[in-house]
Structure 1
Amino acid sequence: MPSAVRFGVNYTPSVGWFHHWLDFDLDSVRADLDSIAALGLDHVRVFPLWPYFQPNRTLIRGRAVEQLVQLVDAAAERGLDVNVDGLQGHLSSFDFLPAWTRTWHRRNLFTDPDVLDGQAAYLRTLAAALADRPNFLGMTLGNEVNQFSAGPHPDPDRATEEEIDRWLTRMLAACEEGAPGRLHLHAEYDATWYQDDQPFTPAQAARHGAVTAVHSWVFNGTAQRHGRTSVPTEHHAAYLVELSKAWAGDPRRPVWLQEVGAPAPLVPPEHAAAFTEATVANALDCPDLWGITWWCSHDVSRELADFPGLEYGLGLLTNDRKPKDAAHVLARAASAPVPAPASRTTALVVPADPAVRSACAPGGPVFNAFFRLTADGARPTTVLDTRAGDRDQLAARGITEVVTPDQVLPAPQGLQGGTRS
């Protein structure tokens, strides 16, 4: 584990987006990586598209794997470490699933024995191809794969919590078999923390894999409710980091803010730099933060059709590789010394039962109480209701005060006056 906080970016190719794997151009990739390295960042997260790499259950394309290795080597030449997402999965509103799992070959992504065999072989193959690369950080199982397991996905692959637990265990083991000792993890979107019927649970997020990953997007109702400069909006990423710690078995488990971005129009382009600065500063005030990986590196080209409008402008760099103001903000943060934050001594009680985790979602009592405390100048963390009386657990985390949402919220209507000008 590095002693300092890592700063990186999710790599979105400037030419062809993730479809660049179909027409892989190493010179274009190198130019993109040059523009990322120029910001002083230290790592990228990259996304091979699963159907392009494994178009048949028993065919993993060797040429595609070689191109991934070339990308990782090009990153090394520029001083960039690389995390590789495997099962893509879902990106920017599009699903990328191989034909052998859909329609006429419809099989459950999380429970079908043949699908599991194919997934494990694929993850193991990618990890093994990179195992000897010093700049290979490790594998992330996939990008927000929990969105396939429940609504609002239009065609979910239903599974139980126990089945997801077995899936995570097996897939992480496949990564470890391919590249022993690397930083292998899984990552979900915030329904894991907020949606009562999600089979991917907070406990799984905080206990499986080498680190806990959180993805923070304020278009989940936070910015809509509270505005772009509100305490909840500017501290949402920090909230997810601290919320995750309630479920962790290790009191010092690292947390990776693996995705966070400034989505228009809730955060207009002219305010993206201010949002970035506030979000990064607040996240850095969280103990045991592994790193911050911004979404994303380059804008999506306007020549590509059918993306949601916000996706086109999320890049730190334009489509022609020019840095925006937000890029300079992240670059300054990456170059500045990051002092270790003090322990958070006040813990807010959260329900351990995943069937009521919506209490933690925007508008819920845990969410509202956390930001009431934050607005009042406190630096809260969280603790499970089942651990709230465990003195050893509290002491290990430096917690000296435990409060419930009812003790924090002054009135039933919840958070008032959270928005500041």
Structure 2
Amino acid sequence: MSSAVRFGVNYTPSEGWFHHWLDFDLDSVRADLDSVAALGLDHIRVFPLWPYFQPNRTLIRPRAVEQLVHLVDAAGERGLDVNVDGLQGHLSSFDHLPAWTRTWHRRNLFTDPDVLDGQADYLRTLAAALAGRPHFLGMTLGNEVNQFSAGPHPDPDRATADDIDAWLERMLAACAEGAPGKQHLHAEYDATWYQDDMPFTPAQAARRGALTAVHSWVFNGTAQRHGRTSVPAEHHAAYLVELSKAWADEPHRPVWLQEVGAPQPLVPAEHAAAFAEATVAHTLDCPDLWGITWWCSHDVSRDLADFPELEYGLGLLTNDRRPKEIAHTLARAARAHTYAPAPRTTALVVPADPAARSRCGPGGPVFDAYFRLVADGARPATVLDVRADDTAHLAARGITEVVSPEQVLPVPRGIPRGFPYGTPQGGTRS
């Protein structure tokens, strides 16, 4: 069915980055939001920094919460709905964790009873403060908190999948207690879909919370292997949207492309607009899409030190609020898009076992087979191997053909079909 898709941006303050909470200036925030609203976008995602809001386990600063409410109200005055991330957590290569969870007070973020109590109180408090605001969409538990639970983080808080499942259930319940009826969810970076030992699993991502969120970044090996104009790079966001559906129990569970950006130098600044145009067009061909939220609103100021180089130029707008070509590209898409994608009738089989999910990542046979199908003109969906013969499930999703990676990828001469693939076969174009 044709319906509206939401277009928005992850709000990065132009002054002080997320440290602006320390010197909160509502006039500056309003000017930022004016520049976002002028693009015709309809929502933002905002990031209170957890240590600034809850510096002690039993102290949630009322002034900080009040400032968040002011920001949400200012966005609403400009016609912008707001999703609020809670446990920040990790942003732009920096970890922001309160001192009561680190060093001398080192406690596991996902299993320690006192930490769980503090987190739940914090999320409930933020949600309750915003519950009556009509422009408040709901809470995201935190930004890519899965990166704290496993490598390559240098000091992970180890947990099992069962631990994470219990953590997600409790934190989502805390948000719902604070703001009943709102759209509460969780969001992880793509290790959830690609990393075999990640305790945050695809099933959790696709079944817990109001909708599924995916974060698409082609610096994960996709652009390095295939190039910025390749089929895998330009369709990577659409792939994650479709990959997530394999694990969903609801046939038409909505999926939110909550983060996607054009990282330099893999996507040079002069090509960012073209990359965005292709990414958006291909993602809009995915059924059940809730929205697209670009990363990010404003560039990071060069006055701030030690960010990875790519972080300084990811904004749709410059640090002095001037729109770039990529901003105009997103603005045109927000104004002019039509959303009525046909069902995807061909499904590629993916392993249900989370210990085999690396097969879905760059260089894996599922990844390569998916993009071979795309390069050949197909519009593939995905289905778990344990559901590949479930006629009711397939019919509910409009799937009429199921293929395996072995049926799609060419087999090296002299190697019987079914042997492991040694060389990536992903389709590319110039």
Q: TM-score band, normalised by the shorter chain?
A: over 0.9
User: Stretches of 4+ moved more than 3 A in 1?
Assistant: 412-417
C-alpha separation in 2, matches of 1:413 and 1:345 = 29
The answer to whether structure 1 residue 419 and structure 2 residue 422 are counterparts is no
C-alpha separation in 2, matches of 1:187 and 1:247 = 15
Which AA in structure 1 matches 2:48?
A: P
With the length of structure 2 as denominator, give the TM-score of the two structures. 0.97
CA contact (8 A) 1:88 1:96 kept: yes
Which AA in structure 1 matches 2:6?
A: R
The answer to whether structure 1 residue 48 and structure 2 residue 57 are counterparts is no
The answer to whether structure 1 residue 142 and structure 2 residue 151 are counterparts is no
Alpha-carbon offset, residue 148 of structure 1: 0.1
Q: Deviations over 1:379-419 (max 9, x none)?
A: 00100000000000000000000000000001245554722
Alpha-carbon offset, residue 133 of structure 1: 0.2
- Spell out the pairing of 1:155-234 with structure 2 (5 A cutoff): 155-234=155-234
Alpha-carbon offset, residue 340 of structure 1: 1.0
Which AA in structure 1 matches 2:356?
A: V
In structure 2, what is the equivalent of residue 308 of structure 1? 308
CA contact (8 A) 1:372 1:415 kept: no
C-alpha separation in 2, matches of 1:173 and 1:340 = 34
In structure 2, what is the equivalent of residue 79 of structure 1? 79
CA contact (8 A) 1:48 1:86 kept: yes
C-alpha separation in 2, matches of 1:252 and 1:5 = 15
- Spell out the pairing of 1:307-326 with structure 2 (5 A cutoff): 307-326=307-326
Alpha-carbon offset, residue 165 of structure 1: 0.2
In structure 1, what is the equivalent of residue 281 of structure 2? 281
Identity of aligned residues (%): 85
In structure 1, what is the equivalent of residue 11 of structure 2? 11
CA contact (8 A) 1:368 1:414 kept: no
- What secondary structure sits across from 2:387 in the alignment? coil
In structure 2, what is the equivalent of residue 245 of structure 1? 245
- What secondary structure sits across from 1:214 in the alignment? strand
CA contact (8 A) 2:369 2:426 kept: no
CA contact (8 A) 2:364 2:424 kept: no
CA spacing shift, 1:292–1:417, aligned 2, 3 Å: closer
Aligned residues: 420
Q: Deviations over 1:42-97 (max 9, x none)?
A: 00000000000000000000000000000000000100000000000000000000
In structure 1, what is the equivalent of residue 32 of structure 2? 32
Q: Which runs of 5+ in 1 are unaligned?
A: none
Which AA in structure 1 matches 2:273?
A: A
Alpha-carbon offset, residue 12 of structure 1: 0.1
CA contact (8 A) 2:8 2:294 kept: yes
Which AA in structure 2 matches 1:420?
A: R
CA contact (8 A) 1:409 1:415 kept: no
- What secondary structure sits across from 1:386 in the alignment? helix
Which AA in structure 1 matches 2:39?
A: L
Which AA in structure 1 matches 2:373?
A: L
CA contact (8 A) 2:367 2:426 kept: no
- What secondary structure sits across from 2:410 in the alignment? coil
Alpha-carbon offset, residue 337 of structure 1: 3.7
CA RMSD of aligned residues (A): 0.9
C-alpha separation in 1, matches of 2:36 and 2:399 = 39
The answer to whether structure 1 residue 88 and structure 2 residue 97 are counterparts is no
Which AA in structure 1 matches 2:252?
A: R
CA contact (8 A) 2:188 2:214 kept: yes
CA spacing shift, 1:418–1:92, aligned 2, 3 Å: same
Q: Deviations over 1:4-63 (max 9, x none)?
A: 100000000000000000000000000000000000000000000000000000000000
In structure 1, what is the equivalent of residue 415 of structure 2? none
CA contact (8 A) 1:238 1:282 kept: yes
In structure 2, what is the equivalent of residue 374 of structure 1? 374
The answer to whether structure 1 residue 362 and structure 2 residue 359 are counterparts is no
C-alpha separation in 2, matches of 1:231 and 1:334 = 23
Which AA in structure 2 matches 1:85?
A: D
Which AA in structure 2 matches 1:354?
A: P
C-alpha separation in 2, matches of 1:338 and 1:92 = 32
Q: Deviations over 1:80-120 (max 9, x none)?
A: 00000000000000000000000000000000000000000
C-alpha separation in 2, matches of 1:401 and 1:186 = 32
C-alpha separation in 2, matches of 1:415 and 1:198 = 23
Which AA in structure 1 matches 2:371?
A: F
Which AA in structure 2 matches 1:295?
A: W
C-alpha separation in 1, matches of 2:322 and 2:30 = 15
In structure 1, what is the equivalent of residue 265 of structure 2? 265
- What secondary structure sits across from 2:228 in the alignment? coil
In structure 2, what is the equivalent of residue 98 of structure 1? 98
CA spacing shift, 1:190–1:417, aligned 2, 3 Å: closer
Q: Deviations over 1:293-327 (max 9, x none)?
A: 00000000000000000000000000000000110
